[in-house]
Structure 1
Amino acid sequence: MSRWEPNARGRLEQAAMELYGERGYEKTTVTEIAGRAGLTERTFFRHYADKREVLFGGSVLLQGLLVDTLAEAPESASPIDAVAGALQAAAAVFDERREQSRRRQEIISANVELQERELVKLDSLAAALAGALRERGVPEPAASLAGEAGVAVFKVAFGRWIGGSGELGMGEFIQEALDELKAVTAGGRA
Structure 2
Amino acid sequence: MPRWKPDARDRLVEAALDLFTEQGYDETTVAQIAERAELTRSTFFRHFSDKRELLSAGQEMLSGLLAEGIREAPAEATPLEAVAAGLARASAAMTDFNRGLGPRLHAAIDANEELRARNAMKSIGLAAAMADALRTRGVSDTAAQVAAELGVLAFGLGYRRWSDPSHDDTPGELATYTAAAFTELRAAAAELR
Does TM-score exceed 0.5, indicating one fold?
yes
Q: Pick the aligned partner of 2:181 from 155, 169, 177.
A: 177
Q: Are residues 185 and 32 of structure 1, via their aligned partners in 2, closer, same or farther at CA, if it must alter by over 3 Å?
A: closer
Amino acid at match of 2:38: G
How big is the shift at 1:117? 0.6
Q: Aligned-pair RMSD on alpha carbons?
A: 2.3
Q: Counterpart of 1:52 in 2: which secondary structure?
A: helix
Amino acid at match of 2:39: L
TM-score normalised by L of structure 1: 0.87
Q: Counterpart of 2:94 in 1: which secondary structure?
A: helix
Counterpart position of 1:104:
105
How big is the shift at 1:183? 2.3
Kept in 1, the 8 Å contact 2:127–2:148? The answer is yes
Q: Are residues 188 and 128 of structure 1, via their aligned partners in 2, closer, same or farther at CA, if it must alter by over 3 Å?
A: closer
Amino acid at match of 1:111: N
Asked whether 1:165 is paired with 2:167, we answer yes
Counterpart position of 1:76:
76
After superposition, the C-alpha distances for 1:125-171 in whole angstroms (9 at most, x for unaligned) are 00110001111221221111111111122222233333352424332
TM-score normalised by L of structure 2: 0.86
Amino acid at match of 2:111: A
Name stretches of at least 5 consecutive residues in structure 1 with no aligned partner.
Answer: none
Amino acid at match of 2:160: G
Amino acid at match of 1:20: F
Q: Which has the higher contact order (CA 8 A, sep 6+)?
A: 2
Q: Counterpart of 1:141 in 2: which secondary structure?
A: helix
Asked whether 1:14 is paired with 2:14, we answer yes
Alignment of 1:24-43 (within 5 A): 24-43=24-43
**Runs of 4+ deviating beyond 6 Å:** 1-4
Asked whether 1:125 is paired with 2:126, we answer yes
How big is the shift at 1:75? 0.7
After superposition, the C-alpha distances for 1:40-74 in whole angstroms (9 at most, x for unaligned) are 22221221111011121111111111111211111
Kept in 2, the 8 Å contact 1:94–1:101? The answer is no
Q: Distance in 1 between matches of 2:67 and 2:108?
A: 27
Q: Counterpart of 1:154 in 2: which secondary structure?
A: helix
> May I ask how many residue pairs the two structures share in their alignment?
189
Q: Are residues 99 and 10 of structure 1, via their aligned partners in 2, closer, same or farther at CA, if it must alter by over 3 Å?
A: closer
Name stretches of at least 5 consecutive residues in structure 2 with no aligned partner.
Answer: none
Identity percentage of aligned residues = 45
After superposition, the C-alpha distances for 1:7-62 in whole angstroms (9 at most, x for unaligned) are 32222222212222222211110111122223322221221111011121111111
Counterpart position of 1:61:
61
How big is the shift at 1:98? 1.5
